[in-house]
Amino acid sequence: MNTNEIEIDEQVFSMPRIGDKAPEFKAVTTQGEINFPSDYKGKWTILFSHPADFTPVCTSEFMMFAHLESKFKKANCNLIGLSIDGIYSHIAWLRTIKDKIKFKGMKNIEVKFPLIEDISMQVAKKYGMIQPGESKTQAVRAVFFIDPNGIVRAIIYYPLSLGRNFDEIFRALIAMQTSDKFNVATPADWNPGDDVIISPAGSCGVAEERMAGTDDLECEDWFFCTKKLDKDLVLKEVLKS
């Protein structure tokens, strides 16, 4: 079996990889039916799964996503959740979150983004969200970053017991948008305002020129050159309301 394939009940599903077209699906959600990814063309999407409704870690995550939804929307990014539960369970759970749950100072949190009903597990299987070694009946905490052209750009997987880091999810989104907009790469722990990395020199001549020094580049060696990228410029380009 290929390393990107998962066998579930004797069926083999190929997991999407970075650079692949996002698998298509139609689904019923708490915000009506969606046709993915065509309904979201031109926008970034974070498609994420969680193990089950009425579970504490998932509740904390949904409150965080809902609390931060406007921040993601300013970055031209929609949120879509999924679990292997029915629509009525979803509705009851989201109402409970709004009416009863407090977490990190948050309360009366209303989840307005779609939560997919996936009792058949068809969407979860298409996206490799079922990891049999962890659970055959619950989705792990998968996060798929899908760009405006419907291409999978990044994937993060967490086990059932581990809540996600939302600063990192947002940082990764902004970093990828910055790379696209300015044709740069972002180094470890990058945040807007930090120096960015430019592509390694493609010829001896360019390498020599870089090491000779330029006004806007700082080179540690011919292959490792950075430049400043103004934080306000980054935020102006990627955080558009």
Longest dimension (CA), the chain: 66
Residues 199, 230: one domain? yes
Residues 133, 199: one domain? no
Known binding site for substrate: residues? Answer: 141
Give the residue, 214 or 41, on which the prediction is more confident.
41
CB 155 within 8 Å of CB 145: yes
State yes or no: pLDDT of 241 exceeds 50.
no
Report d(CA 233, CA 73) in Å as an integer.
18
Domain that holds residue 32: 5-164
The catalytic residues are 58
Residue 232 resides in a domain: yes
Report d(CA 81, CA 114) in Å as an integer.
6
28 exposed, middle or buried (CB, 10 Å; 0-12, 13-18, 19+)? middle
State yes or no: pLDDT of 69 exceeds 80.
yes
Query: Which CATH number covers residue 62?
Result: 3.40.30.10
Residue 177 resides in a domain: no
46 exposed, middle or buried (CB, 10 Å; 0-12, 13-18, 19+)? buried
**What is the residue-averaged pLDDT of the chain?**
89
State yes or no: pLDDT of 77 exceeds 90.
yes
Give the total number of structural domains in the chain. 2
State yes or no: pLDDT of 184 exceeds 80.
yes
Q: Which spans in 22-109 are helix H? A: 56-74, 87-100
Q: Among the three residues 132, 164, 196, which one is the final residue of a domain in this structure?
A: 164
Q: Give per-residue pLDDT as tens, 142-181.
A: 999 999 999 999 999 998 889 999 999 999 999 999 999 9
Please give the model's pTM, rounded to 2 decimal places.
0.88
Give the residue, 23 or 159, on which the prediction is more confident.
23
**Mean of the pLDDT values across residues 35-57?**
95
